[in-house]
Structure 1
Amino acid sequence: MSVVPGEVDTARQPPMTVPLRHFVVGTGFLLAGVVAGAVAAVGGTSGLGTLAHVHLLLAGWVCLTIMGAMTQFVPVWSGAALHSERLATAQLWLVSGGLAGFATSLFTATLASAPVFAAAMLVGFWTFVYNVGRTLLPQAPYDVTERHFGVALGFFLLVTLLGFLLAVDFVRPAFAGLPVTRADVVSAHVTLAVFGAVTTTVLGALYQLATMFTQTSLHGVDVPLRRVEEAGYPAGVALLAVGRLVDSVLLARVGAVLLVAALAAFTVILARRLLETQVDWTPMLSRYAVATAGFAAWAALALPAWVADPLAPAALFGAPGTVHLFVVGAVGFVVLGTLYHVVPFIVWVHRYSDLLGYEAVPMIDDLYSDRVAAADLGCFVAGTALLVAADLLGLPAAVAAAGGVLVLAGSALFVANLLSVIRTHSPASVAGILLGRSVDSSETRPDESAEPSD
C-alpha cells in the first residue's frame, strides 16, 4: 500500500485537531455506550437506560465519527476548503454536550431537561449539515461519494428534527391531535437515523475507501449494481420511513424491498473489491470483510421479515433479533476499520509527510500495534457473535452479557491502540487535541533550506 494514496489532495484538509477531536470524543462515547449495553444485558438498566445505550453508540460514537470523517474528507476528496473550522468545532461540542446531558436525563429519568439537551444536539447536527453542505455545494457535478453525502445530510436534518419532537413529547404532548402517534414517529426516526443518515454515509464513504485501499476499481457487474444501489437505496429509506410514519403497509413494504435489494447490490460490490484487492491485508480491510458478511446476513434475514410485515415493532431494524447484527456486525465494523486508517492517516500526514526525502519515516500502518489490532478484532468478532446468537436464538442473558464484556474488551483495546498513535506520533497531545489550538502540518515541516536525503 502506498503511504498516501495519490487520489487525495492532502493540502485541502482542515487542521489536524478538528477531525481528531471528533474521533477522540467519539471513542469516549463508544466506551460509555458499550458499558451501558453490558449493564443492560444483565438487567441493570431500565427501558430508558437501553434508549440511552442506543443513543450513546449511534448518536455518539457513530455519528461523531461520521461528522469528523466528513469534515476531514469532504475537503480532501472534493478539493475544496472547509467552509468554517469554527463551525466544525462548535458542532462537536453542541452534539457531544447535548448527548451527554440527554443520556444522563434518560438514565436518571429526569426527563424535564431532555428537550433542552435534544435542542443542543439539533443545533449541533444542523451546524454540521450547514458547514459540510456549504463545502460540498460548489463542487458540482458530484461523484458517487458526494451524492451519497448530500443525501445523508438531508437525512440528518429530518432525523434530528423528529428526535427533538420525540424529546419534547417526553414532557409535553407533541403529537396530540395529529394523525400520527409517538410510536409511528419513533419508527420513522429510527429508519431515518440507522438506514438513512448513518448507512447512506457509510455506503458513500466505502465507494472511495474500498476502491482506494484495495487499489481496485468498479468494473463489469459493479457498474449496474452501483446504479441499483444509488437509485434504490435512498428511495427505499424514504418510502420505508414514510410508510412507517403514516402506517401504510404498502409504502413501507415497497421501501423495504428497495432498501434491502440496494444494500445487497452494494454488498456484492464491496465483496468484489475485497476479493480483488491488490494490497496486503490490513486491519481496515479485515473489518470491512466482517462488515460485508454482516450486511449479507442481515439482508437475507430482513427481506422475508419486512415483506411479511415492515410495520411490526419487532422488525424495526430488520428481522426480529438483528439489531446487533446490523448496528455492530455491519455498520460498527465499517466504522472500526475506517478509524484504523483515518486516525493514523491524519497523524502521518501532519507529522511525517513533509519529512519524506529528509529522513526515514514510518508507513501509515506502522503507527499502531498489529498485535493489539488483532486482539481487539478477535474480541469484537467473538463478542458480536455471542450478541447476535443471543438475539436470534433466545439464549440466556449470560450469553449476551459475555458478548457485551468481550465487545467492551475489544473497545478498550481499540481505543488504547488509536490513542497510542496520537500519544506517540502526533504533534499535539490528546489533551491538546481536545482543548488546544489548531495544529497543521506547516508546524512540523523541515527547514526548506535543508538538502533532501538520498
Structure 2
Amino acid sequence: MGAIPGNIDAGQSPPMTVPLRHFLVGLGFLLVGAAVGTLSTLGALSGHLSLVHVHLLLAGWVCVTIMGAMTQFVPVWSGVSLHSRTLSTVQLWVVTVGLGAFAAALLTGSYRWLPVGGGSMLLGFWVFVYNVGRTLAAARPWDVTERHFAIALGFFVLLTTLGVTLAVSFTHPILRGLPVTHGGVLGAHVTLAVYGAVLTTVFGALYQLGTMFTQSALHGVDLHIRRVEAYGYPIGVLALAGGRLFDVGVLARPGALLILASVFGFGVLLARRLYEAQVPWTPMLSRYAVVAATMMGWSLWSAPYWLTDPVDPATRFGAPGAVHLLAFGLIGFVVLGTLYHIVPFIIWVHRYSDLLGLEDVPMIDDLYDDRLAATDFALLVVGLCLVVLTDVADLPTTVAIVGGAIVIAGIAVFLANMLLVLHRHSPHTLAGILFERFATDSTESLAATDAEHHASRR
C-alpha cells in the first residue's frame, strides 16, 4: 500500500496529538468496558452493569474514537482546516469526565449524580458537533461521506438530548403526563445512538475507506445500493426512533425495513469492494471482511423479529441475542480495522512524510507488527464466536467467561501493537500525546514546523 493515498490532503490534518489522545482514551474505555462485561458474567459487581457496560463501550470507546477520527479526517478528506484545536481538546475531557461520573453513579447507586454525568457528556458531544460542523460548513458542496458525517452530527444532538432526559428521570418524574414512557425514550435513545450516530458514521467512512484501500471503484449494483442507503437509511432511523418513542408500530416497521435493507446492502457493497481489491490483504481489510459478513448476517437474523414487532424492548439491537454480533462484530471490527490504518497514518505523516524522496522511509503498513495483528485478529474472531454462541444457545456460563477472556486478550494484543507503533515511531511520549503540558521541546518544534508548512500552503 502506498504511503498516502493520492485523493486526500494530509497537509490539512490537525496536530497528531489531537486524534491520538482520543484513540488512547477510547482504548482505555474499551479495556474497562470489556472487563466490566466479564465481571458481570461472574456476578462480581452490582448495580446497573448492563448500562455501564454499554456506555463504556459505545459512548466511551466507539463514540470517543469517532470524535477523534472525524476531527482528523474531516479536514483531511474535505481539504479544510479544523475549526478549533482548543475545542477538540475540550470535547474529549468533558465527555471523559462525564462518562466516568455517569458510570460511577450507576455502579454505586448514587443516581442523583446521573444528570451531572449525563449533562457533561451532552456538553462534550455538543462541542464536538459544533467544532466538526463548523469545519464541514467550509467544505461545500458535500460528497457522500461528508453528507453522512453531517447527518451523524444531527443524530448526536438528538441522542444526547434523550440521554440527559433519561438520566434526570432516574430521580425526577419529568416524563409524567407526557405521551412517552421511560421505555419509549430509552428505545429511541438506543436507536439514535447505535443506528443513527454510529452506523451513519461507519457508512460514511467506509464509502471512502472501502474504495480507497481496495483501490476499487463503486459500479453496477453498488451505485443502486448507495442511492437507496443514502436517502433511505436516515429516514429509516428517524422512523424507527419515532415509532419506539411513541410506541407506534406502524411507524417503526417501515423504518426497521429501511435500516435492514440498507445494512444488508452495504454488506454486499463492502464484500464486493473486498473481492475486487487490487492491493495486498492488510489487517484493515481482514477486519472489514468480518464486518461485511456481520452486516449481512445481522440483517437476515434480525429481519423476522423487526418486521414482527420492532418496538419490542427485546429487539432494540435486532434479533434477541444479536447485541454482541452488532456491537462487536460490526461496529467493533470497523473501529479496530480502521485504527490499524489511522494510527500509523497519522504518525507517518508527522514523522516521515517530509523525508519522502530524501531517504528510505517505511510505508504506513510497516509501522505495526504483522504477527501481533494476526494474533489479535484470531483471538477476537474466536472470542466473538464464543460470545455470540452464548447469546443464542443454552451453554454453560464458563463458555461466556472464556469468550470474554479471549476477547480481552485480543484487545490487549491490539493495544500492545498500537502502543509499539507509538513507542517506535512517534516523536511524542504517551504523556505528551494525552496532555500538552507534558509535551517535549521536540513536540513543540514539530508543531511549529507543521504550522509553518500549513501557512506556506495557504
Aligned equivalents of 1:157 and 1:67: distance in 2? Answer: 13
Say if 2:352 is the partner of 1:355. no
Aligned counterpart, 2:403:
403
Cα distance, 1:45 vs structure 2: 3.1
Aligned counterpart, 2:290:
290
Aligned counterpart, 2:279:
279
- 1:396-450 per-position Cα deviation (integer Å, ceiling 9, x unaligned): 22111111101100111111110111111001111100012585856679xx9xx
Say if 2:185 is the partner of 1:172. no
Aligned equivalents of 1:402 and 1:324: distance in 2? Answer: 15
Aligned counterpart, 2:456:
none
Aligned counterpart, 2:48:
48
Cα distance, 1:108 vs structure 2: 1.3
Aligned counterpart, 1:267:
267
Aligned counterpart, 2:344:
344
Partner letter of residue 105 of structure 1? Answer: A
TM-score (norm 1): 0.96
Superposed, 1:181-330 pairs within 5 Å as 181-330=181-330
RMSD of aligned Cα (Å): 1.4
> Do the aligned partners of 1:380 and 1:407 also contact (CA within 8 Å) in 2?
yes
196-205 vs 47-56, which moves further: 47-56
Aligned counterpart, 1:451:
none
Moved over 6 A (4+): none
Superposed, 1:49-88 pairs within 5 Å as 49-88=49-88
Cα distance 1:313–1:47, how it changes in 2: closer, same or farther (>3 A)?
farther
Aligned equivalents of 1:197 and 1:317: distance in 2? Answer: 14
**Aligned partner of residue 174 in structure 2, secondary structure:** coil
Say if 2:383 is the partner of 1:390. no
Partner letter of residue 409 of structure 2? Answer: A
> Do the aligned partners of 1:71 and 1:88 also contact (CA within 8 Å) in 2?
yes
Aligned equivalents of 1:442 and 1:132: distance in 2? Answer: 21
Superposed, 1:151-166 pairs within 5 Å as 151-166=151-166
> Do the aligned partners of 2:39 and 2:45 also contact (CA within 8 Å) in 1?
yes
**Unmatched segments (≥5 aa) in structure 1:** 449-454
Superposed, 1:403-442 pairs within 5 Å as 403-436=403-436, 439=443
> Do the aligned partners of 1:211 and 1:217 also contact (CA within 8 Å) in 2?
yes
Aligned counterpart, 1:375:
375
Aligned counterpart, 1:145:
145
100-109 vs 193-202, which moves further: 100-109
Aligned equivalents of 1:232 and 1:129: distance in 2? Answer: 23
Partner letter of residue 154 of structure 1? Answer: G
Partner letter of residue 71 of structure 2? Answer: T
**Aligned partner of residue 359 in structure 1, secondary structure:** coil
Cα distance, 1:335 vs structure 2: 0.3
**Unmatched segments (≥5 aa) in structure 2:** 454-458
**Aligned partner of residue 331 in structure 2, secondary structure:** helix
> Do the aligned partners of 2:75 and 2:135 also contact (CA within 8 Å) in 1?
yes
Cα distance, 1:394 vs structure 2: 2.9
Aligned equivalents of 1:198 and 1:43: distance in 2? Answer: 30
> Do the aligned partners of 2:348 and 2:364 also contact (CA within 8 Å) in 1?
yes
Aligned equivalents of 1:251 and 1:45: distance in 2? Answer: 39
Aligned equivalents of 1:47 and 1:207: distance in 2? Answer: 40
Aligned counterpart, 1:452:
none
- 1:365-404 per-position Cα deviation (integer Å, ceiling 9, x unaligned): 1111111111111111011101111101132221111111
Aligned counterpart, 1:335:
335
TM-score (norm 2): 0.95
Partner letter of residue 428 of structure 1? Answer: H
261-270 vs 435-444, which moves further: 435-444
Aligned counterpart, 2:13:
13
- 1:246-275 per-position Cα deviation (integer Å, ceiling 9, x unaligned): 000111111000110011111111010000
**Aligned partner of residue 102 in structure 1, secondary structure:** helix
Cα distance, 1:165 vs structure 2: 0.8
- 1:318-353 per-position Cα deviation (integer Å, ceiling 9, x unaligned): 010000000001110000000010000000100001
Aligned equivalents of 2:19 and 2:13: distance in 1? Answer: 10
> Do the aligned partners of 1:20 and 1:433 also contact (CA within 8 Å) in 2?
yes
> Do the aligned partners of 1:145 and 1:205 also contact (CA within 8 Å) in 2?
yes
Aligned equivalents of 1:84 and 1:413: distance in 2? Answer: 34
Aligned equivalents of 1:116 and 1:74: distance in 2? Answer: 30
Q: What is the total number of aligned residue pairs between the two structures?
A: 446
Aligned equivalents of 1:345 and 1:174: distance in 2? Answer: 47
> Do the aligned partners of 2:47 and 2:108 also contact (CA within 8 Å) in 1?
no
Say if 2:34 is the partner of 1:34. yes
